[in-house]
Chains A and B, each alone.
Chain A
Amino acid sequence: MIEVQHIHKSFGDNQVLNGIDATFEPGKISLIIGGSGSGKSTLLKCMVGLHTPEQGKVLYDNQDFTRMDFESRIPIRKEIGMLFQNSALFDSMTVEQNIIFPLEMFTEMSKSEKLDRANFCLERVNLAGRNKLYPAELSGGMKKRVGIARAISMSPKYLFVDEPNSGLDPETAILIDELISDLTAEYNCTTVVVTHDMNSVMGIGDYILYLYKGKKWWEGSNKEIAHTDVKELNDFVFASPFMKAARERF
């Protein structure tokens, strides 16, 4: 379980996060949504330690991650898998090397065990046999799937996903959502997804945290979001005529 307690973060005079509290539970997919500049990516970066909040705590199973030094964070970091918006694959490495890299750094697995694990992860994301390709040779959707394969190579307890569907066609986006959903159930991991995609919100959002101007504005499930009367949230989720019509039917 990940708990975020009263997180404040600013860049210069710009207060990006203003006292965010939230709890992300294992085995569930938690979505952080909000308009551009609402602070959702900053919150994710505070949670994984890429940004240091000025106030507040991030607790991983009651361990205060924000106050830990580099060395103390390593055991928790080994349990984190993350898919970046642009996949962030190491472009000098092949697909297989990308997946094996964390295993090489942190495990004493034999070469064949590492290869087996890489093949398993690639099969899991439907990319079996693409081991020797370089990231530059992959499509956007394939890069995302390799990113997921790398994220699950260490069997993560916490899975973070930043904008998984950006730049993907709707069909591939649904495949990625299904994959995230399956992996969350398979590893019983605490999954946190930052997204703009309303299909994801409606499809896989067990818990949804809506940020507005750096504050927690609403929280609930994808079942509840259709019936909320919070104006800002409705303006965000049901912005298009299509979504408005869908809501009325729902």
Chain B
Amino acid sequence: MFFTYFGRYLLLLKSVFRRPEKWRIYWKEIIHEMNEIGVGSLGLIAIISTFVGAVMTMQIAFQLVSDLIPSSVIGQINRDSSILELSPTITALVLAGKVGSSISSQIGSMRVTEQIDALEIMGINAPGYLILPKILAGITMIPMLVIMSIFLALVGGLMGGAFSGAVTPVDYINGITDGFKGYTVAVALVKAFVFGFIITSVSAFKGFYVRGGALEVGQASTRGVVISCISILAADYIVTALML
């Protein structure tokens, strides 16, 4: 069963990456999807990242009770946790729900109302026209959202530490600047790229092969989110194991 689905997924991807009929039209779609996926998710990711950063700072401070450990370590731990794990993974899981369900239901609705059949009869490569712009938008905008998320998580940590008195802003800033390795950001970007591909392609796959009506579109959307989330966590483990 798993191999049948995985085979269909690979065959769909093969169709997705077929040469576009007209790049100009695809480009318009890519810009539209970048706006939907990237700009449309800015607010949500900003709020979540800021609060996660603030809460992380307070929890780290709560656990570091020894006087021998300088409080700037709170900033260091928050920085590395945000860059390596929290920002890429939480952003991806949130977007799997928001963007993934939207992609599945959009493509699924087009399937059940025969709009995809109409595209195919016109001679248009429906997987390419519908899915390629979403994947390209996902793998470019999700890394950008992750960069923003990292920045806001660190700002949130600064605010959370200052307001709660857990760490002074000076100690916190010393902490996040001490021993910073650019490589960790590269790991975060690789994760974001992989997660962006998973969210868009898996959700599109579930929507593209829907059969039935509105009920099945909803079910496909839910399954798309669940499979995306599990795939994100598995990919997170693999990328971490390979790069760190």
User: Footprint of B on A, CB under 8 Å?
Assistant: 48-50, 70, 73-74, 77-78, 80, 82, 84-86, 88-91, 101-102, 104-106, 160
Tell me if A74 and B117 are in contact (CB < 8 A). Answer: no
User: Footprint of A on B, CB under 8 Å?
Assistant: 15, 18, 21-22, 25, 113-115, 117-118, 120-125
Which residues of the partner chain B approach A50 to less than 8 Å between Cβ atoms? 117, 120-121
Which residues of the partner chain A approach B122 to less than 8 Å between Cβ atoms? 77-78, 80, 101-102, 105-106
Tell me if A105 and B113 are in contact (CB < 8 A). Answer: no
Which residues of the partner chain A approach B124 to less than 8 Å between Cβ atoms? 105
Tell me if A85 and B25 are in contact (CB < 8 A). Answer: no
Tell me if A88 and B120 are in contact (CB < 8 A). Answer: no
Tell me if A77 and B121 are in contact (CB < 8 A). Answer: yes
Min C-beta distance of A224 to chain B, whole Å:
31
CA distance A32 to B74 in the complex (A): 75
CA distance A18 to B209 in the complex (A): 26
> Of A85, A89, A106, which is within 8 A of B123 by CB?
A106
> Of B113, B118, B120, which is within 8 A of A49 by CB?
B120
Min C-beta distance of B115 to chain A, whole Å:
5
CA distance A78 to B113 in the complex (A): 22
Which residues of the partner chain A approach B115 to less than 8 Å between Cβ atoms? 88-91
Known: A88-B115, A91-B115, A105-B22. A82 touches B123 (CB 8 A): no
CA distance A84 to B124 in the complex (A): 17
27 contacts between A and B (CB under 8 A): A50-B120, A70-B18, A70-B125, A73-B123, A74-B123, A77-B123, A78-B123, A80-B122, A80-B123, A82-B121, A84-B114, A84-B118, A85-B114, A86-B114, A88-B114, A88-B115, A88-B117, A89-B115, A90-B118, A91-B113, A102-B122, A104-B22, A104-B25, A105-B21, A105-B22, A105-B122, A106-B123
Q: Which residue of chain B has its CB nearest to the CB of A50?
A: B117
Which residues of the partner chain A approach B18 to less than 8 Å between Cβ atoms? 70
Tell me if A49 and B125 are in contact (CB < 8 A). Answer: no
Which residues of the partner chain A approach B22 to less than 8 Å between Cβ atoms? 104-105
Known: A86-B113, A86-B114, A88-B113. A80 touches B25 (CB 8 A): no
CA distance A102 to B121 in the complex (A): 11
CA distance A233 to B229 in the complex (A): 55
CA distance A104 to B122 in the complex (A): 12
Min C-beta distance of B49 to chain A, whole Å:
31
Known interface pairs A84-B117, A102-B122; 8 further A-B residue pairs with C-beta atoms within 8 A, sorted by A's residue number: A49-B120, A50-B120, A78-B122, A80-B121, A84-B114, A84-B118, A90-B115, A105-B124
Tell me if B125 and A48 are in contact (CB < 8 A). Answer: no
Which residues of the partner chain B approach A70 to less than 8 Å between Cβ atoms? 15, 18, 125
Which residues of the partner chain A approach B118 to less than 8 Å between Cβ atoms? 82, 84, 88, 90
Q: Which residue of chain B has its CB nearest to the CB of A75?
A: B123
CA distance A73 to B21 in the complex (A): 14
Which residues of the partner chain B approach A91 to less than 8 Å between Cβ atoms? 113, 115
Which residues of the partner chain B approach A160 to less than 8 Å between Cβ atoms? 121
Interface centre among B18, B117, B122 (most CB of A within 10 A): B122
Min C-beta distance of A72 to chain B, whole Å:
11
CA distance A100 to B25 in the complex (A): 12
Min C-beta distance of A237 to chain B, whole Å:
28
Sorted from nearest, which 8 A-B pairs have the closest CB atoms? Answer: A77-B123, A88-B114, A88-B118, A74-B123, A84-B114, A82-B121, A102-B122, A88-B115
Interface centre among B18, B21, B113 (most CB of A within 10 A): B113
CA distance A49 to B119 in the complex (A): 12
